[in-house]
Amino acid sequence: MNADEPSFYILSVNFATMANSPQIVALALGSNLGNKLNYLKQATTLISKSASFELLHTSSIYKSKSHGFTSDSFLNNVILIRCIVNPNELLSILKEIEKQLGRIKNGKRNQVYTDRIIDIDIIFYGNISVNTSELIIPHPEATNRNFVLVPLLELKTFPIVSGNRFMETIVNLRANEDTELVSTKSKEYLDWFNACKIRH
């Protein structure tokens, strides 16, 4: 199987075995400040260096309008990882990566949308549903965001969580001007991504 042709993941996971079973996780990355593509690549590199993760696949890079506020456009992509830590530990690691890259947060989950050097969101974590003051999985806004849905559609990867609307939304997804393909997965980009996987 080629690196740019991921298989369709059927994610059926027993919650009771979560602590002992690696999970397939989708992470949405976005940046609208500075060298956006470089920030996406830096974030992916730092993720690849964590002993808790294994890089699996990446979507192409997409351009989207700022969501919830007016500013410069974003570059976005979705990466799939295999994860051996629980959702809260995963969140802590991702927050630390954002901090390393210079992002400053106010500590509130429902903060006002604003420009950001890097944003890393957990879209889904296996088939696990989480709803705490710090974290909701699947991501509650994912089905409203083409810049998440379009890369997931490209990767042919969706969670199977009771009551979620991912598949319904994907089926009804229409072409929308707010998400534009910036670059397909060129050989250079895939070679770089696969090098990150090898360095793990």
Q: What is the pLDDT of residue 111?
A: 56
On whether the CB atoms of residues 78 and 123 are closer than 8 A, the answer is: yes
| Calpha distance 147→144 (Å, rounded) | 9
Distance, in Å, from the CA atom of 132 to the CA atom of 31, rounded to the nearest integer, reads: 26
Dihedral sign from CA coordinates of 110, 24, 190, 152: negative
Domain ranges of the chain: 18-182
- What per-residue confidence (pLDDT) applies to 26? 94
Whole-number Cα distances in Å, 110 to 8, 41, 78: 32, 26, 22
8 Å CB contact between 146 and 67: no
Beta bridge partners of 64: 74, 179
Which one, of 47, 117, 51, 127, lies nearest residue 87 by Cα? Answer: 127
Handedness of CA 136, 196, 32, 172 (dihedral sign): negative
User: How much is the mean pLDDT over the chain?
Assistant: 77
Tens of pLDDT along 67-90? 666 678 889 999 999 999 999 999
pLDDT band at 30 (very low <50, low <70, confident <90, very high): very high
CATH code of the region 18-182: 3.30.70.560
> Residue 8: pLDDT band by 50, 70, 90 thresholds?
very low
Residue 138, preceding peptide bond in cis (omega within 30° of 0): yes
Q: Give the list of residues 6+ apart from residue 54 with CB closer than 8 angstroms, or none.
A: 22, 81, 82, 197, 200
User: What tens digit of pLDDT does each residue of 155-179 get?
Assistant: 877 666 555 555 556 555 544 546 6
Provide the pLDDT for residue 107: 47
pLDDT value for 75: 92
